[in-house]
Structure 1
Amino acid sequence: MTSRYTARAVMMAAISSGQGKTSVTAALARKLTQQGLRVRVFKTGPDFLDPLILQRASGAPVENLDLWMVGLDRCRALLAQAATEADVILVEGVMGLYDGTPSSADLARAFGIPVMVVLDAGAMAQTAGALVLGLQQYGPVDVAGVIANRVGTLRHAQMIRDAMRGIPLLGTLARQAESLPERHLGLVLPEEVAAFDAILDRLAQELTLDDAAWQAMQPVDFIDAGEPARPARSLQGKTIAVARDGAFAFLYPGNLACLRELGAALKFFSPLADEALPEGIDAVYLPGGYPELHGQALSGAARWQQSIRAAHQAHVPVVAECGGMMALAESITCTDGATWAMAGILPGRVVMQTRLAAIGQQALHTPQGELRGHAFHYSRLESGVAPAARTVKQVSGEAGEPVYRVGSLTASYFHAYFPSNPAAVADLFLGVS
Structure 2
Amino acid sequence: MSRETETRACPALLIGAAASGQGKTTVTAALARAARRGGRRVAVFKAGPDYLDPQILAAAAGSAVEPLDLWMAGADYCGQRLFEAAGAADLILVEGTMGLHDGQPSSADFAAEFGLPVALVLDCRGMAQTAAAVAAGLQHAREELAVAGLVANGVGSARHADLIAEALPADLPLLACLARDEAVALPHRHLGLVQAQEQGASLEAALDAAAERIERTSLPDAPLPVAFTRKPAAVPGPWLAGHRIGVARDAAFSFAYAANERLLESMGAELRYFSPLDDTALPDVDALWLPGGYPELHAADLAANTAMHAALQAFHRSGRPMLAECGGMLYLQDSLTELDGPTHRMVGLIPGAGRMRAKGGCQGMQTAPLPEGEIRGHAHHRSATDDGAVPIAHGRRPRHPAPGEAIVRDRGLTATYLHLFFASNPAATAALVGGAARSSTAGAQTATTAVS
Instruction: Judge same fold: TM > 0.5, yes or no.
Output: yes
Instruction: State the Cα RMSD in Å.
Output: 1.5
Which residue does 1:218 correspond to in 2?
224
Quote the Cα distance in structure 2 between the aligned partners of 1:350 and 1:367.
26
Is 2:242 the partner of 1:237? yes
Which residue number corresponds to residue 182 of structure 2? 177
Name the structure 2 match of 1:116: 119
In the alignment, what sits opposite 1:394?
Answer: 398
Looking at structure 2, the residues matched to 397 and 40 of structure 1 have their Cα atoms a distance apart, in angstroms, of: 38
Q: Kindly indicate whether the alpha-carbon contact (under 8 Å) linking 1:347 and 1:383 is maintained by their aligned counterparts in 2.
A: yes
Match of 1:315 in 2: 319
What are the residue-to-residue correspondences of 1:261-340 with 2, within 5 Å? Answer: 261-279=266-284, 281-340=285-344
Matches within 5 A, 1:40-189: 40-140=43-143, 141-166=145-170, 167-178=172-183, 179-189=185-195
CA distance in 2 between partners of 1:225 and 1:413 (Å): 32
> CA offset at residue 153 of structure 1?
2.3
Alpha-carbon displacement from aligned partner over 1:215-238 (angstroms, at most 9, x marks no partner): 365311111134x21112111110
Alignment match, 1:204: 211
Tell me how far apart the structure 2 counterparts of residues 409 and 367 of structure 1 sit (CA, whole Å).
Answer: 13
Deviations, residues 294-314 of structure 1 (Å, cap 9, x unaligned) = 011101112221211111111
The equivalent of 2:33 in structure 1 is: 30
2:255 match: secondary structure: coil
1:125–1:160 contact (8 Å) kept in structure 2: yes
* Cα contact 1:368–1:421 (8 A) shared by 2: no
Q: CA deviation at 1:124?
A: 1.6
- Which letter does structure 2 place at the counterpart of 1:203? A
In the alignment of these two chains, the number of paired residues is 430
CA distance in 2, matches of 1:159, 1:278: 62
State the alpha-carbon separation in 2 of the partners of residues 7 and 123 from structure 1.
37
Aligned mates of 1:45, 1:297 — CA distance in 2: 32
Q: Distance in 1 between matches of 2:424 and 2:76?
A: 11
TM superposition shift of 1:384: 4.6
Contact 1:269 1:275 in 2 (8 A): no
Q: Is the CA contact (8 Å cut-off) linking 2:122 and 2:151 kept in structure 1?
A: yes
Report deviation, 1:86.
1.1
Q: Verify: 1:370 aligned to 2:370, yes or no.
A: no
- Superimposed CA distance per residue, residues 46-74 of structure 1 (whole angstroms, 9 cap, x where no aligned partner): 11101111111111111111111010100
User: TM-score, normalized by length of structure 2?
Assistant: 0.92
SS in structure 2 at match of 1:219: strand
The TM-score normalised by the length of structure 1 is 0.96
Give the 3 Å change call, closer, same or farther, for CA 217–92 of structure 1 in structure 2.
closer
Q: Which of 120-129 and 37-46 deviates more?
A: 120-129
| Cross-structure match for 2:263 | 258
> Cα distance, 1:28 vs. partner?
1.4
Q: Distance in 2 between matches of 1:256 and 1:103?
A: 26
The aligned amino acid for 1:82 is A
Q: Which moved more, 1:47-56 or 1:192-201?
A: 192-201
Residue by residue over 1:118-159, the C-alpha shift from the partner in whole angstroms, topping out at 9 and shown as x without a partner, is: 111122222221111100111122101111111222332232
Identify the residue that residue 447 of structure 2 maps to in structure 1.
none
**Are the equivalent residues in 2 in contact too, given 1:93–1:104 (CA < 8 A)?**
yes
1:216–1:354: structure 2 CA closer, same or farther, 3 Å change rule? Answer: closer
Contact 2:19/2:98, CA 8 A, preserved across alignment: yes
How many angstroms apart in 2 are the aligned matches of 1:193 and 1:56? 11
Structure 1 alignment gaps of length 5 or more: none
Amino acid corresponding to residue 229 of structure 1 in structure 2: A
Is 2:196 the partner of 1:193?
A: no
AA aligned to 2:192 is G
Deviation (angstroms), 1:208: 4.8
Q: Equivalents in 2 of 1:315, 1:367: separation in Å?
A: 16
SS of the counterpart of 1:393? coil
Distance 1:230 1:277, change over 3 A: same
In structure 2, the CA distance between the partners of 1:219 and 1:387, relative to structure 1 (3 Å rule), is same
Structure 2, gaps ≥5 residues long: 440-452
Deviations along 1:331-350, one digit per CA (max 9) or x if unpaired, are: 10111231111111112210
* Sequence identity percentage: 47
Counterpart for residue 357 of structure 1? 361
Q: Which amino acid aligns with 2:265?
A: R
